[in-house]
A and B are shown apart, each in its own frame.
Chain A
Amino acid sequence: MNKEAAQELMLKMADDALIYGHRLSEWTGIGPILEEDIAFSSISQDKVGHAWQLYQLLEEDFGMPGPDQLGFGRKENEYKCCRLNELYTRDYAFALIRHFLMDHAEFIRYSLLRASSYEALAQLAKKVRGEIKYHVLHADTWVKKLGAATEESHSRMQAALNEAFPYALGIFEPGPLEQELIDTGIFIGEERLQSEWLDEIRPIIEESGLQLPATTDAAMGGRSGNHSSDLADLLEEMSEVLRSDPGANW
């Protein structure tokens, strides 16, 4: 197995889960209704859990620093999350559209990874896939509902989709070791993932009365650590407690 390639893949997956999980958690306590507040918070916990498991595997198999250090102790340009996940949450429509676009990609990615030649990663993918299946169902239910509910809900969802879509295309930005990942059977590759993703989301978007933006411009850079200032603000907020007492035992 190509160690560096596996590491590259897992680090970007873990960073996606952590940063996306943190953005989801921002609705805890202020969600639109109590039941949705709980559901969104629970999904957020699942995501942070996925990040934790991946960071832990990176520590065990590749000798990287542990989850706390990887999650909270790196510089902004060392994070490999895609740009979609770091963006400020504009409103609930944006939160739901990002959730929809991201989790469909996550579900297909983890589904494909069940066949990975890297056994530990394949096991992890099998384990968490069921959770992501629920995340997708949650997103689909809301997108179908609000895409076709009222004029206001429709236009807000469409505006969010238009804004988020180029960033969503950035999910599939290949890393430098992409070809090694494919050649060694660790992962089937971002190009294949993107085409399956488009096939999956297109009919749901149409059913929701929304329109898939025609653009093919992708907001790249995240996978090489080139982020917007939104990420710096997020990291500042997320690591505030840790920085207040870095050596604390808990």
Chain B
Amino acid sequence: MEKSLDPRIARLNIQRNEEGASPIGKHEYGESFEVFVQSRRGKQHVHAGTVHASDPGMALIFAKEQFGRRQHCVNMWVVATSEIFAFQYADSDMFETVPEKLHREPGGYKVRDKIEAYRKKISQQKADKS
């Protein structure tokens, strides 16, 4: 066996496998967990990415370094990926007409005049009182 130039590797004394690397089996390195990061208390936890781990406790310690190392956060969640339920991309036509439904958004209504009139009324009432 050739000796590695890296002293760390040479010390480990790893024998070379003549048949080459063996394929990694499913879940051999643990299952995957989705990581959610909370930037401030009270804010929602936002999905940040995935880690591989053998259990939730292990997933938390990995999540902290993968996703809590370069951004401010106060809390984290991990959820086994297998516990997440999702739509099929084939069904994404369900969302297609969303941009056309302006009538469902607050800006879709002409209420500005009414709001302005109400504000004026309130401030007038306050002025009258004092």
Residues of A that sit less than 8 Å from B by CB: 26-27, 30, 33-36, 38-39, 42, 88-89, 134, 137-138, 141, 145, 237
Contacts and interface: CB of A to CB of B under 8 A. Distances in A.
19 contacts: A26-B8, A27-B8, A33-B29, A34-B52, A35-B53, A35-B62, A38-B62, A38-B65, A39-B62, A39-B64, A39-B65, A42-B65, A134-B64, A141-B57, A141-B58, A141-B61, A145-B54, A145-B58, A237-B7
Nearest to B68: A134
A234 B57 CA distance: 33
A234 to B, nearest CB: 10
B12 interface: yes
A237 B7 CA distance: 9
Contacts of B54: 145
B69 interface: yes
A38 B66 contact: yes
A126 B127 CA distance: 53
The range of chain B's interface size is 20 to 34
Interface of B is mostly: helix
A35 B51 contact: yes
B11 interface: yes
A34 B64 CA distance: 14
Nearest to B29: A33
A228 to B, nearest CB: 15
Q: Which 5 pairs across A and B sit closest by C-beta, in order of nearness?
A: A35-B62, A39-B65, A26-B8, A42-B65, A138-B61
Question: Do most interface residues of chain A lie in helix, strand or loop, or is the interface mixed?
Answer: helix
Given A27-B8, A145-B54, 7 more contacts: A33-B52, A35-B53, A35-B65, A137-B61, A138-B61, A141-B58, A145-B58
B1 interface: no
A145 B9 CA distance: 26
Interface string B40-71: 00000000000111110110011011100100
Contacts of B65: 35, 38-39, 42
B51 A30 contact: no
A137 B62 CA distance: 11
A30 B69 contact: no
Contacts of B12: 30
Contacts of A35: 51-53, 62, 65-66
Contacts of A36: 62
